[in-house]
Amino acid sequence: MENVMADAIRVVALGNDGDGVAQSPQGRVFIPGTLPGDEVLLACQNGTHATLERVITPGPDRVTPPCHLAGTCGGCRLQHMALPAIAAWKTTRVIEALERCGFAALPTPTTHQVAPHGRRRVDLAFRRVDRQIVLGLHRRRGDVVDMTECTLLHPAIFALLAPLRQMLHSLPAVHAGGDVQINLLDSGPDLLITLDGTPDANDRRILAQFCKSHAIPRISLNARPPETLALTGPVFHHFGAVRVVPPPGAFLQAALDGEEAIRTAVLAGLPRKGLKAGIIELYAGCGTLSFALAEHAKVAAYEGDKAAFACLKQASGGTRVMPALRDLNRQPVMATDLAKAAAIVLDPPHAGAGAQVAQIVAGKPRHVIYVSCNPTALQRDLTPLQQAGYRVDSVTVIDQFLWSAEVEAVCVLTLPGSTRQNRR
């Protein structure tokens, strides 16, 4: 590792992970905690990564972080950046990914940024440290930082953290530590816990009492399959008017208003005519989009996770959702089926749609609505569609992971021959 840098350098951009990018005497360097326009001194540089010594002159988008744990807790990398600037940066990332696909004359994007204190799911780590429980997120490449405040979490989740620390401290099955995932469902907080000990009857008694005291319907053990440790009431959630029973650790969009923004953009992208042919939905999950789509057409909803599929199937009675269990990486829906649908809606995982893309290209369905949580995968998946002649009719960028580098987008694509007037 090299010595302190004596001369100030200027940060000129943000990297994909949210670190500032500058040109030092030793070459291009990534500097956590910096922004474009910052004049900074580096404490040290090791290859392409450096540690900030101090900001000499702040850039135009630098603000005072709203949380005292900023720069320590691993949850927020960009609290030193104004929220409007973050939204603009994330929108640029999505547009640049589409431009690298080869799309020209892109429409003006719509951007939606969620409000603070709206995060309704979180994965936390906990450790026994000096006869107490530390509960929070890992600092970058470091230990767990106790989450004593948070500008992200929904108040109902944050209020649970203090009693959760006390309960975990008293739990015999906690030796060194573990992890806990919290989903805020309509029925209340739903907890999935990873323990480093084996829970016995005493552990279950403690967990059941904790549930009763804090209106928690269910706590489950992270196992294969998950095991219910305490159940004190019905577990349920709603997608519109449809009530579902999510499995432990179920995937939910991070924020309710983020989910609503995604759903609104997807529905707006449906074709105005021809929906009698039905919609094919890929990676349907527990039905976040399925039941809303079914208000407009019948929906063949494909999902590969068995627990999510069981949830979707149980809730689909009386709706126009037709669930199918299918590993789309190993057995993608074929081009002949895709070609018959009025629209294809897909919300793939972070790695993208994989083998499914080739079948979409071969089937050439006229309308494709792609929900992305990763600009890199977005570029990889949509490049073949651009080469097949698809165009982008609309782009909606959703920032529901505030102060992070994560960004979601809804891209509505059509083949030539469709018209914008046929859009909703």
Catalytic residues: 373
Q: Residues 196, 203: contact at Cβ < 8 Å?
A: no
**DSSP assignment of 69-82:** TTTTSTT-S-TTB-
The reply to whether 390 sits in an annotated binding site is no
Q: Residues 259, 396: contact at Cβ < 8 Å?
A: no
β-strand pairing of 39-46 with 49-57: antiparallel
Run of H or E including 167: helix 155-170
The reply to whether 302 sits in an annotated binding site is no
Angle at 377 between CA 342 and CA 226, to 5 degrees: 85
Structure tokens that stand for 85 in this block: 């600037």
Give alpha helix (H) positions in 201-302. Answer: 201-213, 256-268, 290-293
- Prior bond to 225 cis, omega within 30? yes
Run of H or E including 129: strand 121-129
Q: Edge-to-edge strand order for the sheet containing 408-414?
A: 110-113, 391-399, 408-414, 367-372, 343-346, 279-282, 299-303, 321-325
The reply to whether 253 sits in an annotated binding site is yes
**C-alpha torsion angle, residues 277, 282, 287, 293 (rounded to 10):** -30
Run of H or E including 100: helix 83-101
Q: State how far the Cα of 72 lies from the Cα of 231, in Å rounded to an integer.
A: 36
Q: Residues 363, 335: contact at Cβ < 8 Å?
A: yes
Binding positions are 253, 283, 303, 347
Binding positions for S-adenosyl-L-methionine are 253, 283, 303, 347
